[in-house]
Structure 1
Amino acid sequence: MAHNPDFTDKGATRSTAPFTEKDTVSSDEVDPSYRNTVSSPPGFWTRMGVTPESFKKRTVTDRDNQLNQTLQSRHLHMIAIGGSIGAGLFVGSGSALSRGGPGALLLDFGIIGIMIFNVVYALGELAVMYPVSGGFYTYSTRFIDPSWGFAMGWNYVFQWAIVLPLELVVAGFTVEYWNVGINVGVWITVFLLVIVIINVFGVLGYAEEEYWVSWLKLITITVFMIIALVLVCGGGPSNGMYSEYWGARNFYNPGAFANGFKGVCSVFVTAAFSFSGTELVGLAAAEAENPAKALPGAIKQVFWRITLFFILALLFVGLLVPYDDDRLLGANPFIDVNASPFVLAANNAGLTGFDSYLNVVILFSVISIGLSGVYGGSRTLTALAEQGYAPKFFSYIDRAGRPLWSTLFILAFSLLAYVNLAAAGPTVFDWLLALSGLAALFTWGSICLAHIRFRSAWAYHGHTLDEIPFKAIFGVYGSWLGLILVVLVLIAQFYTAVWPLGGGVNDAEGFFKSYLALPVVIVFWIGGFIWKREGWLRTKNIDVDSGRREVDWDAIYATRAERAAMPAWKRMFHLVF
């Protein structure tokens, strides 16, 4: 029987944790027992949730989402636009340029961009329909297979847990660019303390940091592209390389592609690493004041990040820096800041001081990604514990809405950053990078597959697309495209893992350094099946009604009617923005 769009299963909404949340929760709603201990008016530290009382366990039991719902639309928009811009783009693109050339850089980042565009829209549709408290891996549990959901949840936790020490090492080596003569371990400690202090302020500390650092990153990339355009046209200083018309000469000599097809395949993992974190906007929606309103607008901003702040910026990088530049060769892909093509372009142009400014931005960016690692990993681990997929004590949420033990668990992985100081450190670093390199691809593919299965079950149970308040722009076809691209990228990475650049067949160590994420996911999948003893869900058994968000259809219909009456150009503006 078809369901009315006004359908609201309130009883089910209470009984299907963690797939529910209320949009009407006040931004200052915290544990009532905590509120009663606060004198009026509260001081700064009380408002920020940093008091001894705030770390006690929250006792709220009448709602499913215990996280502190304080994120505003501006936070979600900036997390969507600039949240994952970090070492992958600023530093890792240099190694990718040397392996594949400027043509491969644009092609691979473009393919991953198309994939991400569809992934985020699929995630947006699911998140608006079925809000989750702390982990969208639950869509895999609900629409695909509980065992696979278990694997994706833990895969996502360890992806971010490993990214944290990687970013700390990058931050430490970034400071070394200025030859300050202080041991890298000191800087790792300093930046770790910064991350810990920001996390004391909970989601609001993370959101405010992301908001302002994202602005810094976006302004910097915009300034870089303007300067790069001037340099390409020959307007650079007389003491630099670009004092005469430069144009696209690097695409002719040494060429657009390095190492042919194999070079193109080798760049995919860097592109995937660079886009990691794009999906965090869906995770953060559970802590927004009104996610049903804020999330769709934030999702649409991803288009601009892909086109302007990745593709266009890398186009200028390829125009200005040749792929055979000696400073790119043999560089560690994510920690050698001297091999950042953005810094190299500034040095080649003779722009004194601009290279140092770019390094400051890189420093802020990698710390930002480290914070994203703590945020994404802790919220997912908390959701796993709430569903019985992790030890129960990880479900502990304090009175200020912080998942305390989960956050401490992720922060504990930061100590791995100090391993890089040992003689065998670079080897350990390579293995950590191998664990995180492909993990995001499995997450993105699962989101697409969950969306495909949701649409199939939605139609099977008699629902129509008109009952979906926010729809993915390309529907189920976009999710199929995203899933196919994920599979193709995994195949390309397998090809280069077996037959690496330089010829010959890779040894076992080299293969697993390139493809370690796959056996790790398989182990988690098997572990999830042993734990839950549940397999693939059949379409008829997928529940699409319980846990649906309460939707104000009158307001939605009024908005749709208003937009239908607009001129075509204005409708297009709303569609994109």
Structure 2
Amino acid sequence: MSSSSAKNSLSFLSQDMSVPESVSKWQSFKDSFKPAIEDKVTYEDLDLVEKANINTSNSKLSKGLKQRHLQMIAVGGSIGTGLFVGTGSALGAGGPAGIVIAWAVTATFVYTTMQGLGELSTAYPVSGGFNVYATRFIEPSIGFAVGWNYFMQFLVLLPLELVAASISIKYWNQSLNPVIFVAIFWCFIFVVTMTGVKWFGEAEFIFCLIKVVAVTGFIILGIVLICGGGPNHQFVGGMYWRNPGPFANGFKGVASVFIMAAFSFGGTELVSLSAAEADDPGRAVPKAIKAVFFRIAIFYFGTIVLIATLVPSNDPRLLSANSADASASPFVLAIVNGGVKVLPSIFNAVILISVLSVGNISVYACSRSLNSLAEQGMAPKWTGYIDRKGRPLFALVFANLFGLISFVVASDAQAEAFAWLLAISGLSSIFTWMSINIAHLRFRSAMKAQNRSLDELAFVASTGRIGSWYSFILCFLVIVATFWLAISPIGEKATASNFFQQVLGLPVIVATYIFYKVWKRDLRLIIPATEVDLETGRLVPDPDMMAEKNDPRPLWRRILGVVY
């Protein structure tokens, strides 16, 4: 289907779904919860993969995300506690050189993964994104395992982030009961996520803009502090690289930082998940994918170098505070050490906003993953209920209600409870990236086997097949490092509880893979390249899209085009 005909179809559908002026706003509100108008599709003689391809390509999700929404989500969507707070423990474990090396290498394989994902998402902007690509280009059991683990990962994140947000309030007032703020933040996220994808996009646009401005301001401030321009006029230079030294805990420390770095980039793949709800995915997705490079180069790597220079790796505050506490943030410590009085409190507010942003995104990712699984026949059909506003209603309600577990903050068992909840899908992001890389390789193999040219695509991964192989191998090495450190942790004795909390994600994903094989009695290991469906749901680029792909402008002008 061409983009023009697709827009005409959407226009026709919106006319059918409109309500007469005589209908009251209350009645219109009630009618919005009715099921979306279903297309009559005949499934005779179709196998599971063919049905999944058709359903996810014709999803009734709302097309409410603009280009600016996707670009801002790509730039700042995964900037959260992983960067603002988690880098503190990473600095303590690996030292300044260790953290810079680990983040630099991790950034390269995240970037190559996103290049392959951008190629798939631009060609097939379908509901569910990457887990559908696993079903479509590899085989359904992989899609089932990846989809359910990704769903569980973000299902757990909402209550975790709500608790983190309530704890961050203690930076200003230790006497307030955190349960009060859990309730306030839960109500806020519930309202934002239930009003529709347009308001989700607007909220994330504002959240991400605040984070981007804050990180940009920190980069400028950090350079000034390093040069001795702070209130205490101390020239930092490379002082902390010499003492306590560039590395901490040797090679094992660097390996542990690789694991933390990989988790800090979790959520980068959300661009693919939101492609199905973009009003113009052919243009919005490539621009968002290209923006990933600038986020990695500036907002991640730039800040990592600065905090590694401004904060000593042996500072006890990096390890002693709670992971949700702003006092453990190396950003805050750098500002405090520089003698700046007001900014630490402001940056704590940014951390609070980041936590709420991750909570908001977690409901979105969780609900869209469950909806996609239902459309593929991998979850009960009623869990994929979409109303006339294009909302996956049941999935949204379920994800939000699960967030009420956050009231465990009033219990003494909160830390242990969340540790085990996170362990269930602890390696989910790594497995998701691995599946993306394999799906991209299988897609390229199918294109070659079926004599199709890459010239048909509106966006082609600049790193090609080599980039996907590189990313897959690095992801595998991160899993190996996780097992090694679970068996032999740094500075403490190995325990069975700690081991399983670190590696439980692997047996869970293997169990879901085997479960699907037994359930569907599908013993094939891979879909042959000649049988891969390259047509259903494919976005046929118009001449303007192809012109943008073959942009003759100089590199610096194309960069400005992506940023602005």
Query: Are 1:306 and 2:300 matched, yes or no?
Result: no
- Contact map agreement 2:193 2:199 (CA 8 A) in 1: yes
Q: Please report the TM-score for the alignment, with normalisation by the length of structure 1.
A: 0.89
How far apart, CA to CA, are the structure 2 residues paired with 1:53 and 1:412?
Answer: 23
- Contact map agreement 2:154 2:365 (CA 8 A) in 1: yes
Query: Are 1:509 and 2:487 matched, yes or no?
Result: no
AA of the residue aligned to 1:208? E
- Contact map agreement 2:94 2:257 (CA 8 A) in 1: yes
How far apart, CA to CA, are the structure 1 residues paired with 2:10 and 2:265?
Answer: 30
Alignment partner of 1:284 out of 261, 274, 277? 274
Query: In the alignment, what sits opposite 1:369?
Result: 358
Relative to structure 1, is the Cα distance of residues 469 and 204 closer, same or farther in structure 2, using a 3 angstrom cutoff?
Answer: same
- Contact map agreement 1:91 1:341 (CA 8 A) in 2: yes
Query: Are 1:107 and 2:83 matched, yes or no?
Result: no
How does 1:121-270 map onto structure 2 within 5 Å?
121-238=115-232, 243-270=233-260
Query: Are 1:519 and 2:507 matched, yes or no?
Result: yes
Query: In the alignment, what sits opposite 2:525?
Result: 536
Alignment partner of 2:464 out of 451, 457, 475? 475
AA of the residue aligned to 1:404? L
Relative to structure 1, is the Cα distance of residues 573 and 539 closer, same or farther in structure 2, using a 3 angstrom cutoff?
Answer: farther
Relative to structure 1, is the Cα distance of residues 556 and 191 closer, same or farther in structure 2, using a 3 angstrom cutoff?
Answer: closer
Cα drift, residue 307 of structure 1: 0.9
Alignment partner of 1:293 out of 283, 286, 298? 283
Cα drift, residue 221 of structure 1: 0.5
AA of the residue aligned to 1:270? M
Query: In the alignment, what sits opposite 2:50?
Result: none
Describe the SS at the equivalent of 1:360.
helix
- Contact map agreement 1:162 1:435 (CA 8 A) in 2: no
What are the superposed Cα offsets for residues 184-232 of structure 1, whole Å, 9 maximum, x if unpaired? 1111111111100101211111100111111100000111111111110
Query: Are 1:57 and 2:40 matched, yes or no?
Result: no
AA of the residue aligned to 1:244? Q
AA of the residue aligned to 1:254? P
What are the superposed Cα offsets for residues 151-171 of structure 1, whole Å, 9 maximum, x if unpaired? 011011001001111111110
What are the superposed Cα offsets for residues 302-338 of structure 1, whole Å, 9 maximum, x if unpaired? 0011111111111111111111111112334x32321
Query: In the alignment, what sits opposite 2:19?
Result: 36
Cα drift, residue 26 of structure 1: 7.8
- Greater mean alpha carbon deviation, residues 463-472 or residues 540-549: 540-549
Relative to structure 1, is the Cα distance of residues 512 and 393 closer, same or farther in structure 2, using a 3 angstrom cutoff?
Answer: same
Cα drift, residue 558 of structure 1: 4.3
How far apart, CA to CA, are the structure 2 residues paired with 1:153 and 1:75?
Answer: 24
Cα drift, residue 553 of structure 1: 4.8
Query: In the alignment, what sits opposite 2:338?
Result: 349
Query: Are 1:493 and 2:471 matched, yes or no?
Result: no
- Greater mean alpha carbon deviation, residues 187-196 or residues 104-113: 104-113
Dislocated runs of 4+, deviation >4 Å: 20-23, 25-34, 37-40, 556-561, 566-577
- Greater mean alpha carbon deviation, residues 30-39 or residues 169-178: 30-39
Alignment partner of 2:84 out of 87, 90, 102? 90
AA of the residue aligned to 2:189? I
How far apart, CA to CA, are the structure 2 residues paired with 1:224 and 1:26?
Answer: 47
Relative to structure 1, is the Cα distance of residues 21 and 67 closer, same or farther in structure 2, using a 3 angstrom cutoff?
Answer: farther
How far apart, CA to CA, are the structure 2 residues paired with 1:223 and 1:301?
Answer: 19
Alignment partner of 2:329 out of 336, 340, 343? 340
- Contact map agreement 1:23 1:289 (CA 8 A) in 2: no
- Greater mean alpha carbon deviation, residues 202-211 or residues 269-278: 269-278
How far apart, CA to CA, are the structure 2 residues paired with 1:368 and 1:23?
Answer: 32
Relative to structure 1, is the Cα distance of residues 29 and 180 closer, same or farther in structure 2, using a 3 angstrom cutoff?
Answer: farther
- Contact map agreement 2:449 2:530 (CA 8 A) in 1: no
Cα drift, residue 134 of structure 1: 3.2
Cα drift, residue 28 of structure 1: 7.3
Relative to structure 1, is the Cα distance of residues 511 and 58 closer, same or farther in structure 2, using a 3 angstrom cutoff?
Answer: same
Relative to structure 1, is the Cα distance of residues 552 and 521 closer, same or farther in structure 2, using a 3 angstrom cutoff?
Answer: closer
Q: Please report the TM-score for the alignment, with normalisation by the length of structure 2.
A: 0.91
Alignment partner of 1:547 out of 530, 536, 545? 536
Relative to structure 1, is the Cα distance of residues 61 and 105 closer, same or farther in structure 2, using a 3 angstrom cutoff?
Answer: same
What are the superposed Cα offsets for residues 382-408 of structure 1, whole Å, 9 maximum, x if unpaired? 011111100111111111111010111
Relative to structure 1, is the Cα distance of residues 312 and 482 closer, same or farther in structure 2, using a 3 angstrom cutoff?
Answer: same
Query: In the alignment, what sits opposite 1:416?
Result: 405
Instruction: Name the % identity.
Output: 43
Relative to structure 1, is the Cα distance of residues 441 and 129 closer, same or farther in structure 2, using a 3 angstrom cutoff?
Answer: same
Relative to structure 1, is the Cα distance of residues 245 and 55 closer, same or farther in structure 2, using a 3 angstrom cutoff?
Answer: same
- Contact map agreement 1:434 1:515 (CA 8 A) in 2: yes
Query: In the alignment, what sits opposite 2:45?
Result: none
- Contact map agreement 1:300 1:576 (CA 8 A) in 2: no
Cα drift, residue 576 of structure 1: 9.4
Relative to structure 1, is the Cα distance of residues 493 and 184 closer, same or farther in structure 2, using a 3 angstrom cutoff?
Answer: same
How far apart, CA to CA, are the structure 1 residues paired with 2:250 and 2:311?
Answer: 19
What are the superposed Cα offsets for residues 529-556 of structure 1, whole Å, 9 maximum, x if unpaired? 1222223224345324321524245334
- Contact map agreement 1:97 1:105 (CA 8 A) in 2: yes
Q: CA RMSD in A?
A: 2.5
How far apart, CA to CA, are the structure 1 residues paired with 2:192 and 2:561?
Answer: 35
Query: Are 1:449 and 2:438 matched, yes or no?
Result: yes
How far apart, CA to CA, are the structure 1 residues paired with 2:495 and 2:5?
Answer: 53
How far apart, CA to CA, are the structure 1 residues paired with 2:196 and 2:328?
Answer: 35
Alignment partner of 2:369 out of 377, 380, 391? 380
* Unaligned residue ranges in structure 1 (runs of 5+): 1-7, 11-19
How far apart, CA to CA, are the structure 2 residues paired with 1:395 and 1:254?
Answer: 54
How far apart, CA to CA, are the structure 1 residues paired with 2:85 and 2:10?
Answer: 38
How far apart, CA to CA, are the structure 2 residues paired with 1:212 and 1:466?
Answer: 37
Describe the SS at the equivalent of 2:536.
coil
- Contact map agreement 2:92 2:248 (CA 8 A) in 1: yes
Alignment length, in residue pairs?
Answer: 547
